[in-house]
Structure 1
């Protein structure tokens, strides 16, 4: 029983598929007949409409918008064409792409009738003809593209559809203004694979961005370290230069001070009683140095005649006279011959 019902249903379906064009034509004729106005002699044609008039079954003329007069019985309004832009919904259909992926696609077609005569006598039903043409053209255009290009080149695909439809619909007096793809349905397995591909691509981008960030951070750290070392070396160099300049200035200042001191000392020695003053100064320095020996070290060198202060002063003056003889001779000053004075023997003593 079930098999019989299935066979009967399949036969009915096949019969309906074969009879679909004829059924569509019949419905179109009924639609045209239902909206045709009657010949009332005086007719007012609305704006953006064209009425095709036949006289005794033959094309006579096209009524313009406004007031028109017709002859009863002889003249008959056969077609009414709208000159407005028409929106035609293209039903969903299956198409196979270049890489053998089955797609379910639908769209919207925007039309306008440019020639009412061709639209009336060139084709039985203009909208139905354009709809079928759009479906077949879409299958043909999708067969030239891979799945990835279908999504990337939807705009170019729409333009190709418009160009192809206009080439075929020119004899029908119809102009295709534009075609838009509404929706593209993919098989579930293709959707899953595409989703996996998108996730892998995003992970790849994330990894690449993370690695680039790490590289940029390392470069920035290295550049910062390099700049820090350069600045530190420049600072050290400037410090050394400044220190050397300061030491040089200190040496020059010290040398100038010593030069001035020596000059003043030489001028003072050249004056009257200068030697006596120098002898006094040397004696004071000798005694002061001798008194500090025990403070700076545990081992002290003492002369044998420690209690003879006059002998120590005489010895210091003898050293000064010996050092000053070459200067006096260089200056041309004659001095009396002095006998050398024996230095007292020196003995070492340790202080605890």
Structure 2
């Protein structure tokens, strides 16, 4: 079978068209971008979808990215060249950095940086290696911020440090077409002697707080006890006061009733009668169990007073057994016969 030259030419042309179409079609994935240069100059930025380029004339410009790879527990830097620019948010976990605080304590700070490429053109043309530039800027900014703080303040101000770093990184990153979304301090390591000193300080602080709490508890308990005793004393005093008032009121009413019963207008007579009653009631108990009682009063005056009291009691109509017994005891004591029971 003889193939004509015209058919060969047609086949060659079709093959070339297929090759050109294959080279001219570029599919860009979602959240990716490609920077196209035409004859060495920037032409356009391809977005996601199907894009047409001129084969052998339009070429994608590669971007230099520095990444870290875990090798035996260590983060080793790895520099790669990529033509497709990832526009998703990316995290960079850069190694720990030694930083000196204002109180001359050397600490190792490990941080993480979250960034996103918002302008692929500036990320390619404005900086040679934007990831390395961001990392170096983050380290220098971290040293600058922490270098103005004391060690104790550093642990309390992580959020302030993160916010300050984000503002600094965002201002510079905007020039490179990079948006720094968040900067986080992951870990702060310090020398062992500093950790021991801080541990002792925390133990002393907890002990001090416990002592203060115990003292406050004892003080409140003492106040509560004193308050209770105060209220109890007030209540007892109120009770004694009311009892005294009631006793005085009872005695006053008894005096008035006795005065009305004997028909005496002289208060002294009523008082003398009541004292006589008390005295006569006490006489039987004054010389018990053989004790001798000496009364430094004139016997005749004492017996006369007792007789008056007995007559007064008879007039009132009260029982005179106690009065008679008292008179008998008084006569025995006057004659030396007391103590016979």
Q: Following superposition of structure 1 onto structure 2, how do residues 182-193 of structure 1 map, counting pairs within 5 Å?
A: 182-193=186-197
SS at match of 2:23: coil
| RMSD between superposed Cα atoms in Å | 3.2
Greater CA drift, 137-146 or 75-84: 75-84
1:40 equivalent in structure 2: 23
Distance 1:85 1:289 in 2: 118
2:139 equivalent in structure 1: 135
8 Å CA contact retained: 1:39, 1:75 = no
- Aligned with 1:60 (options 19, 36, 43): 43
Q: Following superposition of structure 1 onto structure 2, how do residues 201-350 of structure 1 map, counting pairs within 5 Å?
A: 201-255=205-259, 296-297=327-328
SS at match of 1:98: coil
Aligned residues: 244
More helix per residue? 1
Distance 2:187 2:246 in 1: 79
1:63–1:257 CA distance, 2 compared to 1 (3 A): farther
1:197–1:293 CA distance, 2 compared to 1 (3 A): closer
- Aligned with 1:75 (options 31, 37, 58): 58
1:165 equivalent in structure 2: 169
1:180–1:299 CA distance, 2 compared to 1 (3 A): closer
8 Å CA contact retained: 1:298, 1:350 = no
Distance 1:55 1:219 in 2: 90
SS at match of 1:246: helix
Give per-residue Cα distances to partners, 1:190-222, cap 9 Å, x unaligned.
111111111111121122222222222222222
Give per-residue Cα distances to partners, 1:86-108, cap 9 Å, x unaligned.
11111111111111111111111
Q: Following superposition of structure 1 onto structure 2, how do residues 102-117 of structure 1 map, counting pairs within 5 Å?
A: 102-117=106-121
Distance 1:294 1:184 in 2: 103
1:97–1:296 CA distance, 2 compared to 1 (3 A): same
8 Å CA contact retained: 1:39, 1:77 = no
8 Å CA contact retained: 1:299, 1:350 = no
Distance 1:294 1:247 in 2: 25
8 Å CA contact retained: 1:39, 1:76 = no
Distance 1:250 1:143 in 2: 95
8 Å CA contact retained: 1:39, 1:70 = no
1:297–1:118 CA distance, 2 compared to 1 (3 A): same
Name the larger-Rg structure: 1
2:102 equivalent in structure 1: 98
SS at match of 1:172: coil
1:251–1:67 CA distance, 2 compared to 1 (3 A): farther
Give per-residue Cα distances to partners, 1:251-300, cap 9 Å, x unaligned.
445555566xxxxxxxxxxxxxxxxxxxxxx9xx79x989x858850576
1:148 equivalent in structure 2: 152
Distance 2:131 2:261 in 1: 117
SS at match of 1:77: strand
8 Å CA contact retained: 1:49, 1:81 = yes
2:276 equivalent in structure 1: none
1:236–1:298 CA distance, 2 compared to 1 (3 A): closer
Distance 1:125 1:220 in 2: 73
1:149–1:298 CA distance, 2 compared to 1 (3 A): closer
Distance 1:91 1:294 in 2: 114
- TM (norm. structure 2) is 0.64
2:10 equivalent in structure 1: none
- TM (norm. structure 1) is 0.62
Distance 2:29 2:249 in 1: 105
Unmatched runs of 5 consecutive residues or more in structure 2: 1-20, 62-82, 264-310
